[in-house]
Amino acid sequence: MRVYAARQAILNRKKQSVAYELFFRNGVENVFPKEVDSTTATSKLIVNQHLNIGLKNMTNGKRALVNFSEQGILDRVPTLLPSKDIVVEILEDVKPTDEVFQACREMFHQGYRLALDDFQYHHGWERFMNFTRLIKFDLFTTPLHELTDTLPMLKKKFKHMKFLAEKVETAEEFEQAKKMGFDFYQGFFFCKPEMMANKDIDTSHQIVLAVYAEVLKDNFSYAKLTRLFEKDVSLTYKLLKFINSGIFVLIEPISSIKQALIYLGEERARKFIALIATAHLGTVKPMELIRMSIIRARFCELIAERTLPALKDQAFLIGLFSLVDAILDQDMQDIIINLPLVVEIREALLGYQTPLTHNLELVKAYESGSWYNTQKLARVVKVKEELLPNLFQDAIKWSESFEDVATLFESQRA
């Protein structure tokens, strides 16, 4: 499926791009969808874009300004993104409460840069200024002539602060804003928001609900989470992209889904899955390629259990990601380089000859009805050919069982 976003350049006084603000879009029309609230929009932006292509690829390596609602701030959603890659833009309708203050202070000390969007001076924001590095003024709601006193006062009082003039529409506004002392500029005078389209993997709504229900428990089960993630290639792909996003220090590459989940820890697992759940409400069922990936993953695992039991988890991941290039319309090499997988999995997915590669080739031969190659590869893998039909049927039944599992978890949550 296609996912959309837009970016608009932030420029300095020399009209050089120094950052980009990112906007959620739910289709080809370059406008913010009125039916989507700000919390959901940001969640979808992060899930659809950052957990697929990464923010740096959207901004050419420059910082991304991302809007966060009051709920997003209180939930510390920005901490799911690398601090060096973003500016946390606090929306204008956020209230300067003690809870918001505490969240902002925590994020500041974790290295996040904070910005106040569409700012209108209010004494309640005074205590936030030590944590804030950028203030944005919307010239539609606060024209330049209304800032002739406010801007000099703020610049004098908060010498560390930078100021951005937003919605600059004309050359005259740009020149006037420069004379007043603004540091950065954004608006149609320079460029309109630029649409960006990428391909995402469909996610099962039932699986997302089941995963979310499990992490709501006080002592959730990594084993149950693993079983659920095993049945959704999109969730597993996003999990690995998240772990490789720069937030974590990876001591060793990932060789199983359970290992990846344990890397998160309970708190981050809950935040990550809550983000996914918020973004994927109303998602349609997985397309056929997703279903094939899940069946193939289980089939690879069942064969490995009988031939290479120590590598069965790796065999599962190889099967799960074996069609990801077709799903995303990207070269497998380009996809694998951005996932923290062990060498054995990488080599198998790229076609190098390994025991796990033969496992995958056997599964592909069986799927395609190539009986000569099936017989040949069964001997190489050292699995009895007569076992394959039953193993394949077991894999199909296993892939279909998630709907019953999801219903069970959803009823437990209710």
**DSSP string for residues in 57-105:** HHHTTSEEEEEE-HHHHHTTGGGGS-GGGEEEEE-TT----HHHHHHHH
Equal CATH topology for 2-199 and 202-414: no
Which CATH number, 3.30.460.20, 3.20.20.450, 3.20.20.140, 1.10.260.40, labels domain 2-199? Answer: 3.20.20.450
Structure tokens at 175: 């020149």
Q: Is the dihedral of CA 246, 66, 199, 284 positive or negative?
A: positive
The count of residues in the chain is 414
pLDDT exceeds 50 at position 283: no
pLDDT exceeds 70 at position 12: yes
Report in angstroms the alpha-carbon separations of 41 from 32, 37, 151, 217, 275: 9, 6, 31, 26, 11
Confidence of residue 130 (pLDDT cuts 50, 70, 90): very high
pLDDT, average across residues 46-74: 92
Domain ranges (residues) in the chain:
2-199, 202-414
Q: Is residue 59 within 8 Å of residue 50, measured between CB atoms? A: no
99, 7, 111: which is closest to 53 by C-alpha? 7
pLDDT at 79 (0 to 100): 94
pLDDT at 374 (0 to 100): 95
In a 3-state reduction of DSSP, which class is residue 110? coil
Q: Is residue 133 within 8 Å of residue 161, measured between CB atoms? A: yes
Higher pLDDT, 41 or 249: 41
Report pLDDT digits (tens) over 247-261. Answer: 887 888 899 999 999
Average predicted confidence (pLDDT) for the chain: 88
Report pLDDT digits (tens) over 26-37. Answer: 888 888 888 788
pLDDT, average across residues 333-337: 87
Confidence of residue 212 (pLDDT cuts 50, 70, 90): confident
pLDDT, average across residues 48-57: 88
CATH for the stretch 202-414: 1.10.3210
pLDDT, average across residues 239-252: 86
Confidence of residue 408 (pLDDT cuts 50, 70, 90): very low
Give the whole-angstrom CA distance, residue 85 versus residue 107: 14
pLDDT exceeds 50 at position 41: yes
DSSP 141-204: TS-GGGGTTHHHHHHHH-TT-EEEEES--SHHHHHHHHHHT--EEESTTT-PPEEEEEE-----
CA 340-343-348 angle, to 5 degrees, is 105
Structure tokens at 391: 């193993």
pLDDT at 248 (0 to 100): 80
In a 3-state reduction of DSSP, which class is residue 17? strand
Cβ within 8 Å of residue 293, ≥6 positions away: 233, 319, 320, 321, 322, 323, 324, 327
pLDDT at 352 (0 to 100): 92
Q: Please, which residues bridge with residue 164 across strands?
A: 136, 184
- Structure letter (DSSP) for residue 311: G
19 HSE (CA, 13 A, CB side): 21
pLDDT at 337 (0 to 100): 84
pLDDT, average across residues 112-119: 95
pLDDT, average across residues 94-116: 96
Report pLDDT digits (tens) over 343-364. Answer: 999 999 999 988 899 999 999 9
Model-wide pTM > 0.85: no
Give the whole-angstrom CA distance, residue 294 versus residue 300: 10
Q: What whole-number percentage of the chain has pLDDT above 70?
A: 94
pLDDT exceeds 90 at position 99: yes
pLDDT at 405 (0 to 100): 47
| Residue 74 region by backbone torsions, left for phi larger than 0, else alpha for psi between -120 and 50, else beta | alpha
Q: What whole-number percentage of the chain has pLDDT above 90?
A: 61
pLDDT at 294 (0 to 100): 85
pLDDT exceeds 60 at position 282: no
pLDDT at 60 (0 to 100): 92
Confidence of residue 1 (pLDDT cuts 50, 70, 90): confident
Confidence of residue 287 (pLDDT cuts 50, 70, 90): low
